[in-house]
Amino acid sequence: MLTIARSRAFARSVALVGLLAALGCKRAPPPGRNEPAADAGPSGVSAPAADAAANAPPTRPPSDANVILITVDCLRADMPWAGYPRPIAPRLTALAEKSVQYARAYALSSYTSMSLGGLLGGRLPGELSRDGYFFGAYAESNTFFPERLREAGVRTMAAHAHGYFKDAGFRQGFDAYEIVPGLKWNNTTDENVTSPALESIAERLLGDPRNASSRFFAWFHFLDPHDQYQAHEGIGPYGKSLRDRYDAEVTFTDRSIGKLLDFIANAPWAARTAIIVTADHGEAFGEHHQYMHGFELWENLVRVPLLVVMPGAPPAKIDRAVSAIDLAPTILDTLGVAPEASFEGRSLVGEIYGAAPQAPARDVVVDLPATSDNQRRRALIHDRHKVIAFGEPQYLQVFDLEADPGEEHPIVRGPAYDDLTRRLRELDKSVKDKPPTSCKEGCLGGAYNLPKDAGAAAKADGSP
């Protein structure tokens, strides 16, 4: 089901309205509706008709468009613009009011390595060549969408705020690729505070004079909402709970993103630049007895915000389920680059500009291949229902997300169960899963495996 609530008030200056309005600048009033009729000109077309044609809303991005992708680590879907009562992200909330909001957006997985690998590769992460470790490295044989952009003459830039991004394989196709310097590595949490430094690097990259006369794509991944949920002077405290501390980290990150949005608004290329804001995954605060993220595919882990500002596109809210697998084709389409045949998603550009979807709604798939630290999971979302496959062999649970948004009461029989399990089995037949190149049998899911002598040792010391 597709529900779209669109604002039809447009500026006469189409090129400026989309981005500048989204960043807080004023837009011109809509064309007057009570202007007197004018005589037809020499062409036989009346002046009002000609004005209407000239001021018709755009249906495509401008031919010289740029794209800036901002991803925020651990940013849950329940943000203030989606009904969360605490105003923890005022700058992103202001952006959301001017954006096309996808209210049911899904990440491709439940932790960074799998989610962002799939986003870049336009495929389920299990279909990409990767080594199989939890902090996985992707092979150069994968096709990532920035490679196609660079081949088409689009300048590509990225900056990130975690040491994992250095050797993840994500730099394929980037002309400029930087990591915040001086980071402390900890494979269990994030001890660094990086948003101000990352924002500064982003300004420097975007401020390159070459960007004023050419098209570009830029991607910046903000990390600070990631645990340890550190305190920041002048913010909160909202309370002592983990969610309270997380909320303060979101506010801290929101300030740096707001500063970057201000920089973008004042750039000479602002009017022709699209902005996409999303997350790599959500975060758990006790749901299903879990904290942080990864390992499972519950809604709080894989539902994410998705805000899209396109030059000239009006604000809207789209309530159907969509996937981050659509972002690679959407970015290629926005920049006028031919689609990549291996990508599995569809461009969202048409519906962002108000067109009805040209193809039937698809099921959304979320994929968590087995790694050294986790067992396999896969989920499929069809309309209001979701099926999750746990492990190998698969154990299936089906949920009605409208009646049971917390996924606490599985459906065990009936038409919905039969339909969802059938869809998942058909999906599994079509997915071209690739085995890991390094971590294989005996390594995959190794964190769950006890050594062969562990049982005897436990009995010897009296353990149950």
CB atoms closer than 10 angstroms to residue 38: 12
Q: Which residues contact 309 (CB under 8 A, 6 or more apart)?
A: 18, 19, 22, 95, 98, 99, 100, 274, 275, 276
Return the higher-pLDDT residue of 16 and 282. 282
Give the type of residue at 177.
Answer: Y
Spatial separation of the C-alpha atoms in residues 204 and 201, rounded to whole Å: 5
Domain ranges within the chain, ordered by starting residue: 66-352, 375-433
SS (H, E, C) 234-246: CCCCCCCCHHHHH
Confidence tier at 19 by pLDDT (50, 70, 90): very low
Checking if the pLDDT of 411 tops 60, the result is yes
Is it true that the peptide bond before 393 is cis, omega within 30 degrees of 0? yes
Spatial separation of the C-alpha atoms in residues 149 and 68, rounded to whole Å: 13
Is residue 367 within 8 Å of residue 350, measured between CB atoms?
no
Checking if the pLDDT of 56 tops 90, the result is no
User: What is the model's pLDDT at position 51?
Assistant: 62
Enumerate long-range contacts of 34-43, CB under 8 Å, 24 or more apart: none
> By mean pLDDT, which of 119-128, 181-190, 342-351, 440-449 is the weakest?
440-449
Give the type of residue at 122.
Answer: G
Classify 66-352 by CATH class. Answer: alpha beta
Q: Tell me the two tokens of residue 140.
A: 């150069």
Confirm whether pTM is higher than 0.75: yes
Q: Tell me the two tokens of residue 137.
A: 């490295």
**H/E element holding 378?**
strand 377-382
Is residue 367 within 8 Å of residue 302, measured between CB atoms?
no
Cα–Cα separations (whole angstroms), residue 155 to 146, 158, 177, 193, 201: 9, 11, 12, 29, 16
> By mean pLDDT, which of 143-157, 179-193, 398-412, 436-450 is the weakest?
436-450
What is the percentage of the chain residues whose pLDDT exceeds 70?
84
- ∠378-381-387 over CA atoms, to 5°? 55
User: Phi then psi for 340, rounded to 5 degrees?
Assistant: -90, 125
Spatial separation of the C-alpha atoms in residues 216 and 264, rounded to whole Å: 13
Cα–Cα separations (whole angstroms), residue 62 to 215, 260, 328, 329: 11, 22, 18, 17
What are the pLDDT digits (tens) for 189-199? 888 889 999 99
Spatial separation of the C-alpha atoms in residues 32 and 38, rounded to whole Å: 14
What are the pLDDT digits (tens) for 245-293? 999 999 999 999 999 999 999 999 999 999 999 999 999 999 999 999 9
Cα–Cα separations (whole angstroms), residue 287 to 72, 239, 388: 21, 19, 16
What are the pLDDT digits (tens) for 203-229? 999 999 999 999 999 999 999 999 889
User: Phi then psi for 438, rounded to 5 degrees?
Assistant: -125, -60
- The residues with which 318 forms a beta bridge, in sequence order, are 4, 102
- ∠383-69-84 over CA atoms, to 5°? 55
Checking if the pLDDT of 16 tops 80, the result is no
Confidence tier at 17 by pLDDT (50, 70, 90): very low
DSSP states of 27-73:
-PPPPPS-PPP--B-TTS-BHHHHHHHHTPPPSS--TT-EEEEEEET
Confidence tier at 54 by pLDDT (50, 70, 90): low
CB atoms closer than 10 angstroms to residue 101: 21
DSSP states of 388-400:
EEETTTTEEEEEE
Average pLDDT for 378-396: 94
Phi-psi region of 232 (alpha: psi -120 to 50; beta: other; left: phi over 0): beta
* Coil/strand/helix, residue 154: coil
Is it true that the peptide bond before 237 is cis, omega within 30 degrees of 0? yes
Checking if the pLDDT of 385 tops 60, the result is yes
User: What is the model's pLDDT at position 53?
Assistant: 59
What are the pLDDT digits (tens) for 98-131? 999 999 999 999 999 999 999 999 999 999 999 9
User: What is the model's pLDDT at position 449?
Assistant: 53
DSSP states of 215-277:
-EEEEEEE-TTSTT----TTS----SSHHHHHHHHHHHHHHHHHHHHHHHHTSTTGGGEEEEE
Confidence tier at 50 by pLDDT (50, 70, 90): low
> By mean pLDDT, which of 304-313, 349-358, 376-385, 443-452 is the weakest?
443-452
Dihedral angle over CA of 123, 290, 96, 73, nearest 10: -60
Is residue 70 within 8 Å of residue 275, measured between CB atoms?
yes
User: What is the model's pLDDT at position 455?
Assistant: 36
Confidence tier at 166 by pLDDT (50, 70, 90): very high
Spatial separation of the C-alpha atoms in residues 304 and 105, rounded to whole Å: 6
Checking if the pLDDT of 163 tops 80, the result is yes
Spatial separation of the C-alpha atoms in residues 417 and 414, rounded to whole Å: 5
| Average pLDDT over the chain, rounded to an integer | 86
